[in-house]
Each structure stands twice: as structure tokens, then as C-alpha cells.
């Protein structure tokens, strides 16, 4: 039983293979957090202490007992207006204008299987894999009810948390802030690892002390954003890849979020993950409810590597869905960096011909095939094939591509409209825009009001009529701007950011149920919506618009802390690189792209014969290791922000196969030797380096490492495949 409840002292215990989570309903009906961490056996309420704390309020029902204050106790779901002055998980504005909600325990239920969240992405697991705990809390005055949801995936060491806020009172209330998880630590010094960035330079790692005061990251951009990824690690100061305690909080949501960390006056630490409170005032009439997107929690007592492995497994097995989830993904050639907007049907066919010659599975026709779209200033919203540009119908083009034995995929950006488009001219009120003000532009496009079902239905109809025109096996779903003018002409203000995101999810769900075989790739200017929420719909996401191999090493390193390689789309592009102007050799570009879902982003017509031969070799190589990349355990072997090299490894489940990849970052005169220490092998098993035929014991490679060659050339890369002998 993963979940148990002791009536005697009203303690709930959630158990996974290696972790325990515990909470308690106290004598006043408050839900206190007792413990989260490595396995424990007893009741942890002995950790609670009560002292008279000046200026920390006491609830009225404790009478004269000044030692009881919610300001000092560890709480499961802290609420504004309760006497706890730290950051709140929930702020309710009542009809009388007060910000207050006194949540007390009213019951619980344990269910088999993992809960689902209506209209939102969420981890899924059946009754053999998971249990659900629902805890009911209620404010007796306003009759606001909160159901706290806990999903426990025992074998996977994963606990998910969500909350449903329901107004059962007679008067309307407004939810001003709602988080789905709160971690209160009674003691300890912590650091937060967060992943910041910008367009074309996403998910750089920052490790910062959680000190007194509020440290927060989040997004107000309408997407989870390039700037801060909605996932953090809370770690002890000494925690490293291989040792120490750390907690992950991954938000399963693709819109505005807020993560706050704070050390309080008593040196206790609180971390919250949930919906962004700015631009959010969610009204709830009688009987209405708000479902807060879930957080995936995970604890590792053995450093970041184990934490990452658990997240990779959870996302791969319990979040990604559909027939492509566990299937080899097509190696694709995308037209974007090959031609940008300047292509016609003949060029797409020539890409297909080259793809066939090189062994590439699919050609993707990126932006520029519809409406009036010769550049990025017009045409969005007019999802009609520009047959004049293509020189043929879409069906004819697809048939010609397929005739080369190559699959066909297409790019769309359904949430957007250009002002210079028929759609905008006919429906100017369909965009998010504040009446009487000029909208803020971004890539010269406006955002359609996807919180409205009529707008979504119209675009859905257009997109379906495109997808019905031929054998389209892949769609790249893009989103190329941040949302500024949060105002809907039809929907109720205050709920637009949240309803917009649910609208996008609703569209994606409908698309997948109508085209269950379609492979969807997510994208938002590369990695602006690279989050667990999107991974529920799109089993792969374009990791970054930056295809420079050296920059990608860092971007992919940051991404790897939570997200598995099977969701991380990564392509080889031309040199000089279009984002950095840097020329990295083709071999190294290939090695870097093989750390994820592989493909190309260049015009093979511009390659030399030698380069084409090398690409053919890369494709053969990738096919050999594709399963290892997609399903294997991933290990970071160096920190690209510090080491002279970047190294990573994939190891198969039974540890009988491994692929080591190394890229040298630095070259100096009389260069020192880099020894790369491997991970994940069986210590006393013998592994053969497939290329050299030389045998090594796992322990030797893991303890002493492998010397990398010293070569006088820029950024050489090495791939070493190891096969266990006698396995
Ligand atoms: C975004 C994507 C690119 C490309 C362009 C097309 O920037 O990330 O890969 O599809 O849009 O406009």
C-alpha cells in the first residue's frame, strides 16, 4: 500500500520505493506537513515544536495558547489570511473584498490508480502502478472547498500533487493565486537549481542559495517561456551529481507559472510551485471550480543523476502518450534553415530526393507554405495552401515526396494571426487585445483568443482541411511570440491566461483524437514551451532555435536535468551556423545532435560529396544507437560550464550496451589529457569498445576513466560504443 492513514493520530503516509512523504491533521483540523525525503518508518510529528513566537498570530480556537501559530508550523497548503505570513499557496478574495480562507480538514479518500485532471495534462498510471489520495479541506464561512490530490507512483519514486478549488458558497469568490505544491522544510540550508535563458539560449543552469527573502522564478509571457523553465531542484549545499539530497518540482503546465522559495524568520524553507498570480484573477461562481495544474515531485538521496533518471522515466512512461511514445522516431530533414521562406514545390521535392539518397526518413515543409507568407509579416491565420508558390497542390507535392520513399511533415502555428491576413481582416475581434489600445507587436503577429471555443473551432477546421489533403505524418506545432495584451473580447477577464492554455490543450487533444497516428513536435521559437505539459501531447519538442553544436551542448545539458532525450529534438545544421556564425565540424555536429531525436536542418544540395558520405554514416550510426538514446539511462559526465570537455552517456536497461559521447571544448598548446569517468556500467562486467576491440572492466572505466586523445583541431568529438562481453 503506497498510501496509508492512521486514524489514531490522523497521519497520512505516502510511500514509494525509496522515499516517504508524511502529513498530519492536527487537533484544530489544520493539515501540517511532517516530512518528505528518504524512507522513514515512524510518525514524524515528534518534529513539530511549539513556542511563543512574537508577531506570529494564533488562530482564535487555540484560546490563550500563544505557542500555536501557522506562521511557524510546516504546512501542506498555506493560505493567505490564516496568520501565516510566508508565501501562500492559495489566495482567495471573498465577495466582501477580504483576502482570507480558513481551510480545515473535512475528510479523505484513497483511490486506486492515478487521478486525472479534466482538460489538463497530467501523469497517468493505472491501479497496478499508482494510488491517489484526496484530502478535503473547507472554509466553513465562504464554503470554498479545496481537494488536495496526491498521486503516488510507488515503484517510480514519484509523487504528484494538484489541487481543485471549488466554490460551494452562495457568493462568488476570486482565486488570486493558486499553487499545486508546497514543500516546507523545518531545517536545513538549501540551494535552488533553476534553468534560465532567452530565445536561442535556453535552460542555462543557475544554482543559488535560498536565503532570507523571496527568490522566485516564473513566466508572465503566456508560455512557460525560454526565460525560466517550470522546473527546479532544491538541493543541499553539498549535493552533486552522485551524492546528496535533492528534491525536484516539475510543473506540468505550459503557460504562466510561479515558483517561489523563501527562508523564513525561523530559518525554515518553503518552496511553492503553481500558477502565476500576476495577470490571474480567476472568478468562481457557485459550484464552479479551478483545477490547478500538477507538480511532479521527486526526491533523491543520491544526487542529481538519480533524480534525473526518475524524471526521465516518469516523463517517458507516464506523460508521453500515443503510438510514437515508444517507437523509433523518423530522422527528418526540415526546410527552415535550408530555405527559410524561399522554397517552392520543386525545392521540397529536391530535399526529398536528397533525403532518400542520404537515408533520411522524412521531409518537413516548415513555415511559408500557406496564405500570403513570403516573410514573417503576413499570412498567419490563413491556413490555405499557397499552390501558386508550391507550383502544385499539397496532395501532389506529398505524393511526389512519398514517391521517393520519404515521409512528409508540415509546420503550423495555429494560435497566431498576422494583421495582414484575411482572417484578421474578417475577425479583428478574435485576437487578444485591450479595447481602445494598440496591441503590442511581437514578430509582427497577434495572438488569437484560444480561450474562446468558437475561435479554436474555426482554426481547427482549417487545420483539419489541410491534414486531410494527403499523407501528412508529422506536424510541427509552433508558437512564436509572448502574450502581452491579456484581454478577451468574449471571455471573462482574469481567467484568460489559464483558459487560453486550456484552449491550446483542448485543441491538441482533439487533433490527436482525430489523427491518432500523427506525430506532433512541439515548438515555441525552439524551446519556449519545452515543458512537461506539452510533452503530454507532443512526444518530442524542438529544443532550441539555436542549432550551433557548442551552444546546444549547454542547452541540452540544462534540459537533461528533467527531460529525457526521447523528447529532445536536435538537428545537424549548416556552417557557418546561422545563429552564431561559428563553424563546427560535421562530425561534432552529428555527435551533439545524436543526444536527442535526430535530424537535419540544411540544404543537402549545398553539401560536398564527402559531406554527404559523412551524413550517410551518421544516419547509419544513429539508427544503431537510436534505441539506446530513446530508452537508455542518461548520465551527465561533466559540467559544460566548467570542464574542458562535455561528456554524456546512454546505458541500456540491462547495462549490456552503452554509448559514450565526448566533445572537447578547449584546445591549448601542449594540451593536457582529459580523462572521462563513465557511469552506469556493471563494475565487474567486461565491456568491449566496439571500434578498437579492446576490453575494459566497468569499474575501471568508472573509477579511473578513459583518456581522450589530444588532437590539434577544433572541437573534436568522440563516440565510443561499449558492448558487455558474455552477456
Ligand atoms: C520558429 C521555429 C523555427 C521555425 C520558425 C518558422 O522560430 O522555432 O524552427 O519553424 O519558427 O517561422
**Angle of helix 586-593 versus helix 549-559 axis, rounded to 10:** 10
Centre of ligand 1 to C-alpha 366, Å, is 8
CA of 411, closest atom in ligand 1: 10
Cell numbers 569498445: residue: 689
Lining residues, ligand 1, CB within 6 Å:
336, 366-367, 376, 411, 478, 480, 523, 525-526, 542, 545
CA of 376, closest atom in ligand 1: 12
Query: For a pLDDT cut of 70, what percent of the chain falls above it?
Result: 100
CB neighbour burial string for 189-210, b if at least 16 within 10 angstroms, e if fewer? ebbbbbbbbebbbbbbbeeeeb
Best substitution site from 545, 552, 578 to test ligand 1's pocket, by max atoms within 8 Å of Cβ?
545
How many angstroms separate the CA atoms of 220 and 255, rounded?
A: 8
**Contact, 282 vs 292, CB < 8 A?**
no
Best substitution site from 199, 333, 342, 367 to test ligand 1's pocket, by max atoms within 8 Å of Cβ?
367
Residue nearest to atom 2 of ligand 1 (CA): 525
Residue nearest to atom 4 of ligand 1 (CA): 336
Centre of ligand 1 to C-alpha 443, Å, is 11
CA of 524, closest atom in ligand 1: 8
Mean per-residue pLDDT for 493-509?
97
User: In this structure, what C-alpha cell is assigned to residue 72?
Assistant: 511557524
Cell numbers 570537455: residue: 645
Alpha helices in 489-548 (DSSP H): 496-514, 532-535
How many angstroms separate the CA atoms of 677 and 704, rounded?
A: 6
Centre of ligand 1 to C-alpha 526, Å, is 7
How many angstroms separate the CA atoms of 725 and 420, rounded?
A: 64
Q: What is the pLDDT of residues 559-597, one digit of tens each?
A: 999 999 999 999 999 999 999 999 999 999 999 999 999
Residue nearest to atom 7 of ligand 1 (CA): 525
Mean per-residue pLDDT for 66-75?
97
Check pLDDT > 80 for residue 727: no
Mean per-residue pLDDT for 341-346?
98
How many angstroms separate the CA atoms of 705 and 676, rounded?
A: 5
Q: pLDDT grade, residue 62 (50/70/90)?
A: very high
Residue nearest to atom 12 of ligand 1 (CA): 367
| Residues 6 or more apart in contact with residue 301 via CB below 8 angstroms | 18, 37, 38, 244, 245
Closest CA to 712 of 648, 656, 672, 668: 668
Residues marked active site are found at: 531, 611
**Contact, 206 vs 193, CB < 8 A?**
yes
Q: pLDDT grade, residue 555 (50/70/90)?
A: very high
Check pLDDT > 90 for residue 1: no
List, in order of start, the domains of the chain with CATH numbers: 3-318 (2.70.98.60), 332-412+453-481+518-631 (3.20.20.70), 645-724 (2.60.40.1180)
How many angstroms separate the CA atoms of 589 and 399, rounded?
A: 32
Closest CA to 451 of 416, 390, 492: 492
pLDDT value at residue 323: 96
pLDDT value at residue 179: 99
Check pLDDT > 90 for residue 311: yes
Phi, psi at residue 558, to the nearest 5°? -60, -40
Q: CA of 586: how far to CAs of 303, 548, 571, 576, 601, in Å?
A: 34, 11, 12, 11, 13
**How many Å from the N-terminal Cα to the C-terminal Cα in the chain?**
36
pLDDT value at residue 392: 98
Q: What's the pTM?
A: 0.98
CA of 523, closest atom in ligand 1: 8
Cell numbers 480561450: residue: 451
pLDDT value at residue 646: 98
The three-class DSSP label of residue 348 is helix
Residue nearest to atom 8 of ligand 1 (CA): 525
Q: What is the pLDDT of residues 188-233, one digit of tens each?
A: 999 999 999 999 999 999 999 999 999 999 999 999 999 999 999 9
Residue nearest to atom 1 of ligand 1 (CA): 525
**Contact, 158 vs 130, CB < 8 A?**
no
How many angstroms separate the CA atoms of 74 and 44, rounded?
A: 12
Centre of ligand 1 to C-alpha 630, Å, is 24
How many angstroms separate the CA atoms of 718 and 709, rounded?
A: 9
Mean per-residue pLDDT for 610-615?
98
pLDDT value at residue 206: 97
User: In this structure, what C-alpha cell is assigned to residue 526?
Assistant: 525552439
Centre of ligand 1 to C-alpha 545, Å, is 7
Four-residue CA torsion sign, 401, 404, 405, 406: negative
pLDDT value at residue 674: 96
pLDDT value at residue 249: 99
Q: What is the pLDDT of residues 680-694, one digit of tens each?
A: 999 999 999 999 999
Centre of ligand 1 to C-alpha 410, Å, is 12
Element housing 471 (H / E): none
Q: What is the pLDDT of residues 435-482, one digit of tens each?
A: 999 999 999 999 999 999 999 999 999 999 999 999 999 999 999 999
| Residues 6 or more apart in contact with residue 436 via CB below 8 angstroms | none
How many angstroms separate the CA atoms of 64 and 546, rounded?
A: 62
Centre of ligand 1 to C-alpha 367, Å, is 7
The three-class DSSP label of residue 145 is strand
Q: What is the pLDDT of residues 98-148, one digit of tens each?
A: 999 999 999 999 999 999 999 999 999 999 999 999 999 999 999 999 999
Check pLDDT > 90 for residue 672: yes
Tell me the HSE value of 459 on the side-chain side, using a 13 A CA sphere. Answer: 29
Q: CA of 124: how far to CAs of 47, 121, 128, 149, 536, in Å?
A: 33, 9, 12, 13, 10
Residue nearest to atom 3 of ligand 1 (CA): 525
How many angstroms separate the CA atoms of 130 and 583, rounded?
A: 49
Centre of ligand 1 to C-alpha 330, Å, is 19
Residue nearest to atom 6 of ligand 1 (CA): 367
Would you tell me how many other CB atoms lie within 10 Å of the CB of residue 376? 16
Check pLDDT > 90 for residue 660: yes
Mean per-residue pLDDT for 490-510?
96
Cell numbers 561533466: residue: 638
Length of the chain equals: 727
Alpha helices in 152-297 (DSSP H): none
Q: What is the mean pLDDT of the chain?
A: 97
How many angstroms separate the CA atoms of 305 and 243, rounded?
A: 9
Residues β-bridged to residue 428: none
Phi, psi at residue 492, to the nearest 5°? -75, 130
Residues β-bridged to residue 706: 676
Q: What is the pLDDT of residues 705-715, one digit of tens each?
A: 999 999 999 99
Mean per-residue pLDDT for 142-162?
98
The three-class DSSP label of residue 131 is strand
Centre of ligand 1 to C-alpha 541, Å, is 12
The three-class DSSP label of residue 462 is helix
Amino acid at each position: 500500500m503506497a498510501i496509508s492513514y492512521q486514524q489514531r493520530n490522523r497521519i497520512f503516509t505516502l510511500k514509494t520505493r525509496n522515499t516517504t512523504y508524511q502529513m498530519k491533521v492536527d487537533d484544530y483540523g489544520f493539515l501540517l506537513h511532517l516530512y518528505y525525503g528518504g524512507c522513514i518508518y515512524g510518525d514524524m510529528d515528534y518534529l513539530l515544536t511549539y513556542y511563543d513566537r512574537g508577531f506570529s498570530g494564533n488562530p482564535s480556537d487555540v484560546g490563550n495558547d500563544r505557542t500555536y501559530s501557522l506562521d511557524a508550523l510546516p504546512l501542506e497548503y498555506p493560505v493567505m489570511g490564516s496568520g501565516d505570513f510566508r508565501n501562500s499557496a492559495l489566495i482567495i478574495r471573498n465577495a466582501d473584498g477580504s483576502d482570507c480562507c480558513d481551510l480545515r480538514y473535512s475528510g479523505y479518500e484513497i483511490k486506486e490508480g492515478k487521478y486525472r485532471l479534466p482538460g489538463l495534462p497530467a501523469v497517468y498510471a493505472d491501479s497496478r502502478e499508482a494510488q491517489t489520495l484526496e484530502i478535503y479541506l473547507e472554509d466553513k464561512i465562504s464554503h470554498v472547498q479545496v481537494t488536495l490530490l496526491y498521486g503516488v507512483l510507488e515503484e517510480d519514486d514519484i509523487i504528484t500533487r494538484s489541487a481543485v478549488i471549488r466554490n460551494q458558497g452562495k457568493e462568488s469568490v476570486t482565486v488570486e493565486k493558486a499553487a499545486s505544491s508546497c514543500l516546507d522544510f523545518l531545517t536545513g540550508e538549501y540551494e535552488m537549481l533553476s534553468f534560465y535563458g532567452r530565445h536561442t539560449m535556453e535552460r542555462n543552469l543557475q544554482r543559488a542559495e535560498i536565503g532570507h527573502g523571496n527568490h522566485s522564478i516564473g513566466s508572465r509571457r503566456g508560455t512557460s517561456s525560454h526565460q525560466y523553465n517550470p522546473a527546479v531542484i532544491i538541493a543541499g549545499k553539498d549535493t552533486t551529481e552522485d551524492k546528496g539530497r535533492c528534491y525536484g518540482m516539475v510543473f506540468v503546465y505550459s503557460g504562466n507559472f510561479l515558483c517561489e522559495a523563501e527562508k523564513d524568520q525561523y530559518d525554515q524553507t518553503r518552496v511553492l510551485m503553481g500558477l502565476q498570480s500576476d495577470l490571474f484573477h480567476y472568478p468562481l461562481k457557485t459550484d464552479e471550480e479551478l483545477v490547478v495544474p500538477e507538480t511532479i515531485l521527486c526526491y533523491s538521496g543520491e544526487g542529481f543523476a538519480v533524480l534525473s533518471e526518475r524524471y526521465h522515466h516518469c516523463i517517458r512512461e507516464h506523460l508521453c502518450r500515443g503510438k510514437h511514445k515508444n517507437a523509433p522516431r523518423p530522422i527528418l530533414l526540415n526546410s527552415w534553415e535550408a530555405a527559410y521562406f524561399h522554397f517552392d514545390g520543386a525545392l521540397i521535392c529536391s530535399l526529398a530526393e536528397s533525403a532518400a539518397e542520404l537515408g533520411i526518413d522524412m521531409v518537413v515543409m516548415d513555415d511559408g507554405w500557406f496564405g500570403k507568407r513570403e516573410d514573417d509579416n503576413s499570412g498567419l491565420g490563413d491556413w490555405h495552401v499557397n499552390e501558386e508558390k508550391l507550383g502544385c497542390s499539397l496532395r501532389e507535392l506529398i505524393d511526389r515526396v512519398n514517391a521517393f520513399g520519404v515521409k512528409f511533415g508540415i509546420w503550423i502555428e495555429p494560435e497566431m494571426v498576422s494583421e495582414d491576413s484575411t482572417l484578421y481582416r474578417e475577425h479583428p475581434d478574435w485576437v487578444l487585445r485591450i479595447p481602445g489600445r494598440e496591441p503590442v507587436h511581437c514578430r509582427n503577429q497577434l495572438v488569437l483568443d484560444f480561450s474562446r471555443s468558437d475561435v479554436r473551432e474555426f482554426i481547427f477546421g482549417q487545420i483539419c482541411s489541410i491534414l486531410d489533403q494527403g499523407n501528412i505524418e508529422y506536424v510541427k506545432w509552433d508558437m512564436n511570440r509572448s502574450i502581452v495584451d491579456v484581454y478577451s473580447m468574449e471571455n471573462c477577464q482574469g481567467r484568460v491566461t489559464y483558459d487560453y492554455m486550456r484552449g491550446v490543450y483542448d485543441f491538441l487533444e482533439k487533433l490527436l483524437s482525430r489523427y491518432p497516428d500523427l506525430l506532433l513536435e512541439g515548438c515555441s521559437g525552439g524551446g519556449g514551451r519545452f515543458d512537461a505539459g506539452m510533452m503530454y501531447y507532443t512526444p518530442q519538442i524542438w529544443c532550441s532555435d539555436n542549432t550551433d553544436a557548442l551552444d546546444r551542448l549547454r542547452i541540452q545539458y540544462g534540459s537533461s536535468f528533467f527531460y529525457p532525450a526521447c523528447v529532445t529534438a536536435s538537428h545537424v545544421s549548416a556552417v557557418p551556423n546561422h545563429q552564431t556564425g561559428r563553424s563546427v565540424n560535421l562530425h561534432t555536429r552529428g555527435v551533439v545532435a545524436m543526444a536527442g531525436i535526430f535530424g537535419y536542418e540544411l540544404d543537402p544540395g549545398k553539401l560536398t560529396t564527402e559531406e554527404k558520405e559523412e551524413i550517410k554514416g551518421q544516419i547509419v550510426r544513429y539508427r544503431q544507437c537510436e534505441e539506446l538514446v530513446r530508452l537508455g539511462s542518461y548520465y551527465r559526465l561533466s559540467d559544460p560550464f566548467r570542464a574542458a570537455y562535455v561528456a554524456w552517456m546512454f546505458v541500456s536497461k540491462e547495462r549490456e550496451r552503452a554509448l559514450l559521447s565526448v566533445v572537447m571544448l578547449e584546445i591549448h598548446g601542449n594540451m593536457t589529457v582529459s580523462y572521462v569517468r563513465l557511469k552506469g556500467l556493471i563494475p565487474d562486467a567486461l565491456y568491449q569498445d566496439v571500434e578498437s576491440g579492446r576490453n575494459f572492466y566497468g569499474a575501471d572505466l568508472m573509477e579511473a576513466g578513459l583518456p581522450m586523445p589530444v588532437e590539434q583541431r577544433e572541437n573534436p568529438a568522440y563516440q565510443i560504443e561499449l558492448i558487455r562481453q558474455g552477456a
